[in-house]
Amino acid sequence: MKPRTAFSSIRRASVVVQCLVRIIVSRKIYAAKKKEREEQAVIENRMNMMQQTLDDATTVMGGGTVFSVDEGLLDEVETMFEYLRKEIGEEIELMSSYASLDRI
């Protein structure tokens, strides 16, 4: 086999391997992003349900607002806000680390 032919076949094989690796990596990234979107959808649905419950529990009487809200609901709202604060903090950290990687 001529050296040029051997080089060409090795090069083609390396391109195929690179292509397969890129496919595998992109599938993993896609799966992670899909899972994250599903989690966000669940959180958003819970927040919407809590907002609806809060809106339903609120009654307006004579110009002032009177809240007749269950304590369990308030605890759940507080827990969700704590969770969202933590998630937003982690997201900001990830974005800043990603931005620093882009500069490299």
Q: Is the separation of the CB atoms in 57 and 73 below 8 Å?
A: yes
SS3 2: coil
Whether 60 has a pLDDT exceeding 70, the answer reads no
Whether 85 has a pLDDT exceeding 50, the answer reads yes
**pTM given for the model:** 0.48
More confident residue, 6 or 95: 6
More confident residue, 24 or 92: 24
Instruction: Report how far residue 98's alpha carbon sits from residue 91's, in angstroms, rounded to the nearest whole number.
Output: 10
What is the per-residue pLDDT for 40?
87
Model confidence at 72, pLDDT cuts 50, 70, 90, reads confident
Kind of pairing, strands 58-61 and 64-67? antiparallel
